[in-house]
Structure 1
Amino acid sequence: MIMKVAVVILNYNSSEDCRKCVSFLKRQEGVELELVLVDNCSPDGDKVAALCREQNCTFIASSENRGYNAGNNVGLRYAAERGYKYALIANPDMEFPEPDYVAKLVATMEKDPEIVVCGSDIVGANGIHQNPLVRDGNWVTSFSWVNGIFRKKQTDSYEFIDNYKGSHYCAKVSGCCLMVRMDFIQEIGFFDEYPFLYCEEPILSRQVEMAGRRMYYLADAQAIHRHIPSTKGDPVKRFQHWKRSRLYFVNHYSGDSWLGKKLASFSIKLYVQLFIWTRSRY
Structure 2
Amino acid sequence: MSIITVAYNSSHILRDFVRRLELDRHQDCELIIVDSGSDDVGLTKEIARDADITLLVSDENIGYGRGSNLGAAEAKGRWLVFVNPDVSVSCEQLLALVSIAEANNLDCVGPRVAGLDGNVKRTWGRTITPPWRRRNRGYVEAGSLILAETISGCCMALPASRFRSLGGFDVDFFMFCEEMDLHRRLRESGGRTAIALEVEVHTPGGASSLGVTDRWRSVERMVGHTRYVFKHFSYIEGLIAIMANLSRILVEPRFVARKVSLRQYLAGIRRSF
The two structures have a TM-score, normalised by structure 2, of 0.81
What's the offset of the Cα at 1:228? Answer: 4.8
Q: Which runs of 5+ in 2 are unaligned?
A: 259-273
> Shift of the alpha carbon at 1:165?
8.4
Whether 1:248 aligns to 2:223 is: no
The structure-2 alpha-carbon separation of the partners of 1:84 and 1:228, relative to structure 1 and needing over 3 Å to count, comes to: closer
Tell me how far 1:9 sits from its aligned partner. 1.5
Tell me the distance in 1 between the aligned counterparts of 2:98 and 2:255: 45
Partners of 1:164 and 1:273 lie apart in 2 by: 42
Q: 1:125 aligns with which of 108, 116, 122?
A: 116
TM norm structure 1: 0.79
Following the alignment from structure 1 to structure 2, what is the Cα–Cα distance between the partners of residues 106 and 201?
18
Partner of 1:218: 196
Q: Give 1:162 deviation, angstroms.
A: 8.2
- Work out the CA distance in 2 between the residues paired with 1:31 and 1:180: 19
Matching residue's letter, 2:65 = N
Amino acid at match of 1:87: L
Q: Distance in 1 between matches of 2:72 and 2:255?
A: 40
Deviations 1:192-223 (A, max 9, x none): 11122211232122111221111011000011
Matched with 1:88 is 81
- Paired residues, what number? 254
Which residue does the alignment assign to 2:186?
Answer: 208
Aligned to 1:76: 72
The within-5 A match list for 1:97-136 is 100-113=92-105, 115-136=106-127
SS of the counterpart of 2:212? coil
| C-alpha distance 189-46 of structure 1, shift in aligned 2 (>3 A) | same
Q: Is the 8 A contact 1:132 1:163 kept in 2?
A: no
What secondary structure is seen at the aligned counterpart in 2 of 1:180?
strand
Provide the secondary structure at the position in 1 that maps to 2:125. Answer: coil
Tell me by how many angstroms 1:59 deviates: 1.2
1:270 aligns to 2:247 (yes or no): yes
The one-letter code sitting in structure 1 at the alignment partner of 2:77 is Y
Structure 2 residue matching 1:49: 3-state secondary structure: helix
Partner of 1:25: 21
Please report the RMSD computed on the Cα atoms of aligned residues, expressed in angstroms: 3.0
Deviation at 1:56, TM superposition (A): 1.5
List aligned pairs for 1:43-54, cutoff 5 A.
Answer: 43-54=39-50
Contact 1:122 1:225 in 2 (8 A): yes
Once residues 55 and 109 of structure 1 are traced to their aligned partners in structure 2, the CA distance between those partners, rounded to angstroms, is: 29
Task: Give per-residue Cα distances to partners, 1:84-125, cap 9 Å, x unaligned.
Answer: 2101111111112x6631121111122244x22110101012
CA shift, 1:258, in A, is: 5.4
